Amino acid sequence: MALGINRIIFHTSDQQPFVDGKHNPGITLGPFGQHYTRNVTWARQAIAWNTYLARCSYLLQQGSFVGDLAYFYGEGAPATVPFWKPVNPAPPEGYDYDWINADVLLNRISVRDGRLVLPSGMAYRALVLPSYVDQVTLPVLRKLRDLVAGGATVVAPRPIHSPSLADNAHGEEYRSIVNELWGPVDGMGASEHDYGKGKIYWAKSVGEVLAAAKTPPDFEYSRPEFDSELVWIHRHDGDADIYFVANQKERPEDLEASFRVEGREADLWHPDTGAIEPATYKIANGRTTVPLHFDPYGSVFVVFRNKPAALSRTLPHPVRTELATVSGPWQVSFPPDWGAPPKIHLDKLISWTDYPEDGVKYFSGTATYTKDIEAPRGWFKPGEKLFLDLGGVKEIAEVTVNGRGLDEILWKAPFQIDVTSVLKPGVNRIQIQVTNLWPNRIIGDQKPNAKKQYAWLDYRPFRADTLLLESACSAPSEWWG
C-alpha cells in the first residue's frame, strides 16, 4: 500500500464445493495462487481483514498521489520499472517518487513555476534519469532541453548516444544539444549546469538537489530504536492531506512523525477498527509534528482537514493498569467430526500442539474456551474502560461475555478487546473462540498411525515430518483498566 497499491485482487483462488463428511482446505494447483477460499479455517472471520483492506484501499484512492520526484526508466529493453535492482541515484528518505515512461515524458509533461506537471494535476519537483539511462533518443533529448530551459530541475547522466539507429543521421544535432544542455557536467568534476530557467545535475545526490530547490522532506520520523522503520505514502484531496503510515517491526513503537503540512489539525483514522480520533499535534516552521503509537506491524492514516483553533493541541494520554491475570483452568470444546474430542480440560493455557492427544495436537479449525471469572466491583469506575488482553493467540479470536458477542474479530497483535459494555460486577462467563490454520490437520493426516484423513485435498503442501504451527491461546490472559 505504501508503494501505491490501492486495489486488492485475490488471484487464482480455488473454487470447490462443500463435500459431505469431508473438510476441504481448498488447496490445489500445487504451489500456485493463494489458498484463500470459503474453505479456509478462518473464512468466517476473514471479513475483519477484508474490511481493513477495503478501508485502506478506499482512502488511498482519494485525490492524487504526492511525490516530489519523477524517475524516467528509459527506452531500452526491458521497457519497464527496474524493480529487480536498487535505484541509482536513490530517492532520499522522506521523499516519494513516481516512474514515468517515454510517452509521458514526450507528450504529457510540461513545466509550470519550476515544477514538472501533468494534465491530471500531478506535479514533481525534479526529473531523475537513473545511471543506467545513459542513452536517450533524439526526441527525448530535445524534450529534456526544453524542460530545463523552461525551468525544470533534471538529474541525469550525460548521454553517450541514442539507442535508436533512426537518429544516426542527426549525430551533429544530438552532440550539440548534449554539449549545450550538460555543459561542463561530466560526473567527475562539475556536477551542475544552469540552462535557461532551469538546472541539470549529475554526480550530486538527489537529496542535495532537493535541498538546493528548497524542498524539505515530505515525511520524517524519530527512531526510538536503531532499526525502527516506517513506510508511508501521501495523497492530497481538495483541502485534505492523507498520509498512510505503517510500522515494519513486530513490536510496538512510540515515536514522533513530522509532516510537510501546516494550517490544519491532525486526526488519526484507524483502518483496522474504523475509529477516527483527534491527535496531539504541533505546527511550526511549515511542518506538523504528531506523536504516533503503533502496534506490532500496525498502521494508521494521519489526516489533515480542518483549520486549527491553535498551533498545537495536547490530548491526555490514556494510562492502563493491570488489574488481574486470568489463570486456569479452562474448558475447551471442539466441533464434531474434526478429529478432536468434544471437550478437554486445561489447567493452564498451552498450544494445542503440546497436548498429548493427537486429535487436539493436529486439530485445525475453531475451538471455544470457556471460564467463569469474578470481576470485583472496584474495577468499575465512571469514565474508565475495561479491557481483556488475550496474550498470545494463534491465529484469530472472538470474545463473548455473558452470552453477548463483541463486534470485533481479533486477527492481529495485540489481542486486546474492550469489554466495558458487557462485563458486570460478580461472576462473568467468558467464551473465547480461537481459530488456527490448516497445516496441523494436513500434517496429522499423513502420520503413519493416522486412522482417518480429515482434510480432503488433491495437493498436500506439508509432509508428515513438517513442524507443527503453534495454535490456540498459549499465554496468560489479563484484565486491564
Residue 16 reports pLDDT greater than 70: no
Across the range 182-194, mean pLDDT stands at 92
| Pick from 153, 157, 159, 156: nearest CA to 196 | 153
pLDDT in tens, 450-479: 988 888 777 777 899 999 999 988 665 666
pLDDT in tens, 82-131: 888 899 999 999 999 999 999 999 999 999 999 999 999 999 999 999 99
What span, in angstroms and rounded, lies between the C-alpha atoms of 83 and 81?
6
What span, in angstroms and rounded, lies between the C-alpha atoms of 352 and 362?
8
CA-based torsion, 392, 393, 399, 401: positive or negative: negative
- What is the DSSP code (8-state) at residue 248? -
Q: Which residues of 27-36 are buried (b: 16+ CB within 10 A; e: fewer)?
A: bbeeeeeebb
Percent above pLDDT 70 for the chain: 94
Question: So what's the pLDDT on residue 406?
Answer: 93
Question: So what's the pLDDT on residue 454?
Answer: 87
* Residue 190, SS3 per DSSP: coil
Every domain of the chain and the residues it spans: 67-212, 219-313, 322-480
What span, in angstroms and rounded, lies between the C-alpha atoms of 161 and 173?
11
Alpha helices in 186-263 (DSSP H): 206-212
Question: So what's the pLDDT on residue 409?
Answer: 97
Judge whether 39 and 24 are in contact, CB under 8 Å: yes
Across the range 1-11, mean pLDDT stands at 91
Tell me what the pLDDT averaged over the chain comes to: 93
Pairing of strands 198-201, 153-155: parallel
* Spatial CB neighbours of 79, under 8 Å, sequence gap ≥ 6: 73, 101
DSSP 7-32: -----S------BTTBB-----STT-
CATH fold of 322-480 reads Jelly Rolls (2.60.120)
Pairing of strands 153-155, 126-128: parallel
Rg from Cα positions in the chain: 29
- Range with lowest mean pLDDT among 35-44, 86-95, 392-401: 35-44
Across the range 200-209, mean pLDDT stands at 96
Across the range 36-55, mean pLDDT stands at 91
Residue 318 reports pLDDT greater than 70: yes
CATH code that applies to domain 219-313: 2.60.40.1180
pLDDT band at 371 (very low <50, low <70, confident <90, very high): very high
